[in-house]
A and B are shown apart, each in its own frame.
Chain A
């Protein structure tokens, strides 16, 4: 058949060709596999199979992790996304683009952390990583996700790798690479190749398949919208796994910093220590009140005050809808000047740009920005307000109108001038607000406030005076009341300066509700209350009823007063307060209070034990502190007569012989029917203590519920809820389990046993988590904070006192401040041992005792490490330098860090260094209070007297005492004769000082050897001596200096030498010289004659005379002639031969030169020939190809 068309030519390049080749390859792969010899890959060795299987399972095991209990509750803090990269790579632009994408806002510049709400469940905080190594180290510690920006047109830069190494040491958060500047490539192929190359390099550094994102270029000075959208999507689905250091330490990335030092203090001395407040989301784990913190680059500080503030950037409410409304796309970045409203503990700041505010007085120093409240319409009004010298309530006071009945009681209202200055910003309050307060509430809460005793107020006058604007507002009193109950409350504090509070906070409004109800509703409530009280607390009920009677008779206000009073008195009675006392700050104070409380209850609760206790009761105040320390509490006095039938019956049910059902009920009694339970006289004495607590618990619960419906209904509902919860609780595990199982099924099949164990662990962890959540839900906010500390995700305000002024002066929002909590023992200093390895990219080995800067935990400090290696026998031997490609041990002094903490070491902090700055990485093994590192030492001595096998050795030791220390030590001569130190030698024997008339020499040791040694022998003793690790560490205070400046600490010896132009000391003895060994001349052996005669003949020296000195030979004249002739002939022959040889050499030389010449010519010709041949060949080929 003939085909008219020309045959199809497949495409050689372009996408379709590529596609084709791919499929082709696939096909070929398949076929290739089929082509393989099937027998070659068949199962033929059980051993090998077993090995393979075990290897596979081992690999599987490595992937498994022990499940950790997730202890975070509530909303997670915003995830921190650190954008890192070398300068000029587009970091800020990326943040701007992302922010624009999320919030539709353009931000002018990126300074400090930017918080945004990115989704219904997720908030993000963008931080730009500063370019110096200190900033990078800090950023690595708080990053949840690191975006590594890489200039595609340039390739990787050292910063990226440095940052990766730092990240790896500090827990390795998620990492995503972003390639920018890809529009610089004109050639598509080159671009693709570069992408490929960079991707693979990135993969080797992190893991195969690590995400590398490409941003193709700029459009109108912004990244392409679509790509940013994709990037945002990647970020939004990212999962963050917990990192062990961070889940055990609370930390805060400061997104706002205020200097709250008294202005007069600053004006008198500009360099005075400052008080600062730091704001940020709490991350990591819960933070308790007493926690010490480390501010990175500054130092350790005690927190003077912690308060939880309202979230400035809250997640949207959980209404069911898709996506975010525009209103909910919140955005908070105080350091960048975004976010108009700033909340503080006691004030709200409204941020208005300076150019909007024209009417404020020029003289107003520091609160220009904060002051403006109205537009220029009210300018005059504002000015007049500014001129007023007294606040509204002060005026009210002066006018003798008792607006609030109890105002004069409050001493806190009196203010002093300085504080007024300090708190000026609170003044911008709207004066209408107090009027808005409903009267009922006002009066009600007034009575509330009244109950707060004056003492309490006197205790914190400062607290009162800070809120001077409306010092007597109900809120304040409310607050104080709260305070009296030991709870400084976030909501309350937020509200102290603001008036509208009910709208926002559940807790507070609940309280209000409760109180409102209490006032609005009548006896019914009261009856209910008292009913319950009487039912649960039999002995307090009588008093209650009396109260009730009184209340019913008396007028309304009095009635309310006593009600509130009683609530408070009851609350004071609760068991927790009995144990922990009222004020928690000072242990001493609390002890005294407690002892009071105890005494009052002694009669019922604590029975006298013995004489000690009696004495104790007499002089309780003084002697309480010296009671006997015994855990045994035998109450002989209360021993009852158990022979009595009735008493025995009373505990019958506590034994297995008793009624099981009753006993079972006993356990549940409190939960199910606490109201109905009437406990017998057995627990009579117990009651007194408990009443208070129980009251509180019940009352808060009931007061809310009672008014609208019956108690019975409520209880049933509660039970139903509980059941539902229980079901959910059990159910919640099973889906998780199922999920895990399926995961596991994918991961490791055939590892059922191990998986089961892991499942059990997972289940336990989940159970514990549920328990944690369940147990703490029923607590009120204040106790909860007391018990578990501030939860993660809370927006915290930390007040820190006496910070160096440099922190404020050199504060740069582009360098985020990290505040980390310090655990137990971490503030102590000591020796630490680390497994240490020099980074393979660092050029030099490290020298012992040369300073390095390490970053451990939250800290960065300079220290002097000593390197060592562990010998086989467990000895730690000092190394002068770190080994080339091995781990070694490093011992250094510094603040302790728990074992397993990663360490990164740097030697040079400067930004100008071209090479890799990470010096080494390490992991802490243990800490110790004594560093046991030894180095080898050789004590050298020489014999001064030799007996048979004993010798006296001098110059090895300096004193007899030293000899005594080394008794029994093994020694050796250079020639290898081993010996032992015995005792200090007797001096007379050694060098006979008495004869010489000198001082007796000290430190001569008598030693024995395995053979006789020579006087010329050198004896040495090998020993180990302790090396001291220098007790030095120098915290890096980089936040206290200008950020551009390089921090300088201790310099290395090399640096010092360079700086002072000193030469390296040169010890001549240390030089290596060629060894000269002069031939030793031994004297001839002289055998004494007596010995000679005794020897057998064979060994006797023979009298062998040499034949040389035989007789002279006198030749005959003829003989002499012959001899002469022979000599002549020989001489002639010699000469002849010599001449012939010379001639031959000359000839050869000539021949060689000729040959060389010929060779050159030959080569030339050959090359020509070859060239010609190739040329023709090439031509031929080309021709053929063309054809």
Chain B
């Protein structure tokens, strides 16, 4: 395992250092004059969010001690890849990383957006990891964004692309994002370890600013939808999962439809030596409520990344599909039980969107605050200066959050 880590390390590091270390003449001058004041942060946590908020608020940041004491210090490949993605979509953004990768200087540029962009997300995290910040960033660009992302589409760590389509995009529409031009197209799927999936994300720009929301009614679940997929395995896996999941829902709701999406051939990831190498299957469920909230969960079962290609056969057994189906259905019920207008995965995004609104009161209700949500709240406070009023409601077990947005406008848009 460590050998491969080393390899990855080598694969990703050298080009990074070559292109990013150099400083342009102007920048150097600015730095010498001490014009740029960096916001100092520590640690690798929430790197995505920090970079996102730093770009939106155009605050240069300096992050130190990125896994300084870890066995493999410095930025991980997916983090570097995310930095590259930022460079792709923005103009004049400036990244500087020290030799060990434990220190990162980032000076945001202007988000340009644009069409026909392409980014390889690598294999250490799934596309979901990149999508989350990218959709927010895309809203505040000069032109609408359309980008092709390559890598792992479904993963157990990050929300899958299906969840994005079913839950995240409707969430954005709540905030006044124009619905035309907002879509995610899944070209092909790929799971860990070798990926090979492709999606095309298009995000429109907001013309002035978002719209504040008052969104506290979670409503009642009226239907459950879902999509299951399988790559390089039998369709039977999907059917089993769906059957198991329905078994649990049936006692609560009749309106359950879970679609199957069996991918084969080129649409199902990479071949190596004519052998399919990333088999996997997964399911994404979404519960829609009477008030138009979407609560979703997803999971993916595939071989863990980091193993050598040769020993596929020796890998430990994957979770059987019945268990997966039951587990994911239970998780969805768990989310529903918690209450809140979004599921725990989308808390962070919801908070960020609220904070980016004009200077009006936004009011939302979520279930229990998850650590990621809490971290988001702190980051929002640090970067945008927006604090939330957090009021728990013990009767329902939910938390009500209120904030006044920071009044961010899409400044990079050209006045026509």
Contacts from A to B (Cβ < 8 Å): 69, 71, 248, 285-286, 288-291, 536-537, 575-576, 579-581, 584, 587-588, 590-591, 594, 598, 605-606, 622, 624-636, 638-643, 648, 650-658, 660, 663, 666-667, 669-670, 674, 677, 679, 682-683, 686-687, 689-690, 693-694, 697, 768, 771-772, 775-776, 779, 783, 786-788, 823-825, 828-830, 896, 898-900, 923-930, 1031
Chain A's nearest CB lies how many Å from the CB of B74?
11
The 6 tightest CB contacts between A and B, nearest first, are A625-B43, A929-B92, A690-B392, A669-B395, A683-B397, A633-B370
B348 touches A631 (CB 8 A): yes
Question: Contacting B157 at CB < 8 Å: which of A537, A632, A667?
Answer: A632
Chain B residues positioned under 8 Å from A929 (CB to CB): 91-92, 109-110
Count class of interface residues, chain B: 35 or more
Contact A824/B57 with A594-B378, A625-B43 known, Cβ cut-off 8 Å:
yes
Chain B's nearest CB lies how many Å from the CB of A864?
15
A926 touches B414 (CB 8 A): yes
B397 touches A900 (CB 8 A): no
B360 touches A824 (CB 8 A): no
Q: How far is the CA of A869 from the CA of B130 in the complex (A)?
A: 39
A642 touches B45 (CB 8 A): no
Q: How far is the CA of A606 from the CA of B371 in the complex (A)?
A: 8
Chain A residues positioned under 8 Å from B278 (CB to CB): none
B360 touches A638 (CB 8 A): no
Chain B residues positioned under 8 Å from A631 (CB to CB): 132, 158-159, 345-349, 372
Q: Beta-carbon contacts of B209-223 to A below 8 Å, as 1s and 0s?
A: 000101001101110
B390 touches A650 (CB 8 A): no
Contact A654/B44 with A536-B394, A575-B391 known, Cβ cut-off 8 Å:
no
Chain B's nearest CB lies how many Å from the CB of A67?
14
> Which of B5-13, B181-189, B193-201, B324-332 lies at the interface with chain A?
B324-332
Chain B residues positioned under 8 Å from A768 (CB to CB): 212, 360-361
Q: Is B408 an interface residue (CB 8 A)?
A: yes
Contact A639/B411 with A587-B378, A626-B45, A679-B397 known, Cβ cut-off 8 Å:
no
B378 touches A590 (CB 8 A): yes
A775 touches B363 (CB 8 A): yes
Q: How far is the CA of A898 from the CA of B407 in the complex (A)?
A: 13
Q: Is B41 an interface residue (CB 8 A)?
A: yes
A772 touches B392 (CB 8 A): no
Question: Contacting B337 at CB < 8 Å: which of A591, A651, A776?
Answer: A651
Chain A residues positioned under 8 Å from B41 (CB to CB): 587-588
B395 touches A772 (CB 8 A): no
Chain A residues positioned under 8 Å from B331 (CB to CB): 634, 636, 639
Chain B residues positioned under 8 Å from A630 (CB to CB): 129, 157-158, 372
Q: Is B104 an interface residue (CB 8 A)?
A: no
Q: How far is the CA of A339 from the CA of B409 in the complex (A)?
A: 42
Chain B's nearest CB lies how many Å from the CB of A903?
12
A657 touches B253 (CB 8 A): yes
A625 touches B45 (CB 8 A): yes
Chain B residues positioned under 8 Å from A772 (CB to CB): 360-361, 404
Q: Is B234 an interface residue (CB 8 A)?
A: no
Given A576-B390, A622-B69, 4 other A-B residues pairs in contact with their CB atoms under 8 A: A580-B378, A590-B378, A648-B251, A928-B91
A686 touches B394 (CB 8 A): yes
A626 touches B43 (CB 8 A): yes
Chain B residues positioned under 8 Å from A694 (CB to CB): 392, 394
Question: Contacting A930 at CB < 8 Å: which of B91, B156, B214, B406?
Answer: B91
Q: Beta-carbon contacts of B378-396 to A below 8 Å, as 1s and 0s?
A: 1001100101111111111
Chain B residues positioned under 8 Å from A656 (CB to CB): 220-222, 253, 290
Q: How far is the CA of A660 from the CA of B110 in the complex (A)?
A: 49
Q: How far is the CA of A1086 from the CA of B252 in the complex (A)?
A: 108
Chain A residues positioned under 8 Å from B336 (CB to CB): 651, 654-655
Chain B's nearest CB lies how many Å from the CB of A467?
28
B411 touches A898 (CB 8 A): yes
B67 touches A626 (CB 8 A): yes
Chain B residues positioned under 8 Å from A896 (CB to CB): 411
Q: Beta-carbon contacts of B41-57 to A below 8 Å, as 1s and 0s?
A: 11111111100000011
A-B contact pairs, 27 of them (CB 8 A): A248-B409, A285-B359, A536-B394, A575-B369, A625-B43, A627-B45, A629-B44, A629-B45, A629-B49, A631-B346, A631-B349, A651-B333, A655-B220, A655-B253, A657-B253, A660-B220, A666-B396, A674-B395, A677-B394, A682-B397, A683-B394, A693-B390, A768-B212, A772-B404, A775-B363, A825-B57, A899-B415
Residue of B nearest to A784 (CB): B389
Residue of A nearest to B369 (CB): A579
Q: How far is the CA of A87 from the CA of B402 in the complex (A)?
A: 53
Q: How far is the CA of A663 from the CA of B336 in the complex (A)?
A: 13
B44 touches A927 (CB 8 A): no
Chain A residues positioned under 8 Å from B329 (CB to CB): 642
B359 touches A930 (CB 8 A): no
Q: Is B285 an interface residue (CB 8 A)?
A: no
Residue of B nearest to A286 (CB): B359
Question: Contacting A679 at CB < 8 Å: which of B49, B253, B372, B395?
Answer: B395
Chain B's nearest CB lies how many Å from the CB of A47?
31
Question: Contacting B392 at CB < 8 Å: which of A575, A663, A786?
Answer: A575
A579 touches B390 (CB 8 A): yes
